[in-house]
Amino acid sequence: MNLSEEETQVLEVIRKFAESEVRPFAMEIDKKKQVPEKLINRMRELGLFASYIPQEYGGAGLSFAFLVKAIELLSWACASTALVLDGAETLFAEPVIMFGSESLKKKYLPQVAEGAVGGLAITEPGAGSDAASIKTRATRKGNSYVINGSKTFITNGRISKFFVFDAVTDPSKKHRGITTFVIDAGTEGFKISRDIEKMGIRGSSTVELVFEDAVVPAENVIGKENDGFRVIMETLDAGRVGIAAQAIGIAQSALDDAIAYAKERKQFDTRITDFQGIQFMIADMATQIQAARELTYAAADAWENRRDSVRLSSMAKLFASDVAMKVTVDALQLFGGYGYTTDFDAERHVRDAKITQIYEGTNQIQRVIIAKEVLKNL
Ligand SMILES: Cc1cc2nc3c(=O)[nH]c(=O)nc-3n(C[C@H](O)[C@H](O)[C@H](O)COP(=O)(O)OP(=O)(O)OC[C@H]3O[C@@H](n4cnc5c(N)ncnc54)[C@H](O)[C@@H]3O)c2cc1C
Residue 266, strand partner residues: 271
Ligand 1: residue of 122, 153, 322 to mutate (most ligand atoms within 8 A of CB) is 153
Tell how far the Cα of 208 is from the centroid of ligand 1, in angstroms: 14
Least Cα distance to 76 among 292, 205, 247 occurs for 247
Backbone φ, ψ for residue 305 (5° rounding): -95, 5
Strand boundaries in the chain, DSSP class E: 118-121, 137-141, 144-155, 162-168, 178-184, 190-195, 206-217, 221-222, 266-267, 270-271
String of DSSP letters for 300-322 = HHHHHTTSSHHHHHHHHHHHHHH
Nearest CA, atom 17, ligand 1: 359
**How would you classify residue 61: left for phi > 0, otherwise alpha for psi between -120 and 50, otherwise beta?**
left
Q: What is the pLDDT of residue 2?
A: 86
pTM here is 0.97
| Measured distance CA(170)–CA(367) in Å, rounded | 29
Instruction: Please name which of 349, 19, 138 lies closest in space to residue 340, comparing C-alpha atoms.
Output: 349
Give catalytic residue positions.
360
CA-nearest residue for atom 2, ligand 1, is 153
Phi, psi of 288 (to 5 degrees): -65, -40
Per-residue pLDDT of the chain (378 residues; tens, 9 = 90+): 889 999 999 999 999 999 999 999 999 999 999 999 999 999 999 999 999 999 999 999 999 999 999 999 999 999 999 999 999 999 999 999 999 999 999 999 999 999 999 999 999 999 999 999 999 999 999 999 999 999 999 999 999 999 999 999 999 999 999 999 999 999 999 999 999 999 999 999 999 999 999 999 999 999 999 999 999 999 999 999 999 999 999 999 999 999 999 999 999 999 999 999 999 999 999 999 999 999 999 999 999 998 989 999 999 999 999 999 999 999 999 999 999 999 999 999 999 999 999 999 999 999 999 999 999 977
Measured from CB, residues less than 6 Å from any atom of ligand 1 are 119-123, 128-129, 153-155, 198, 201, 206, 355, 358-362, 364-365, 368
Distance between Cα 357 and ligand 1 center (Å): 9
Domains of the chain: residue spans and CATH: 5-116 (1.10.540.10), 119-227 (2.40.110.10), 229-376 (1.20.140.10)
The Cα 117–Cα 49 span in angstroms is 8
Which residue's CA lies nearest to atom 14 of ligand 1? 153
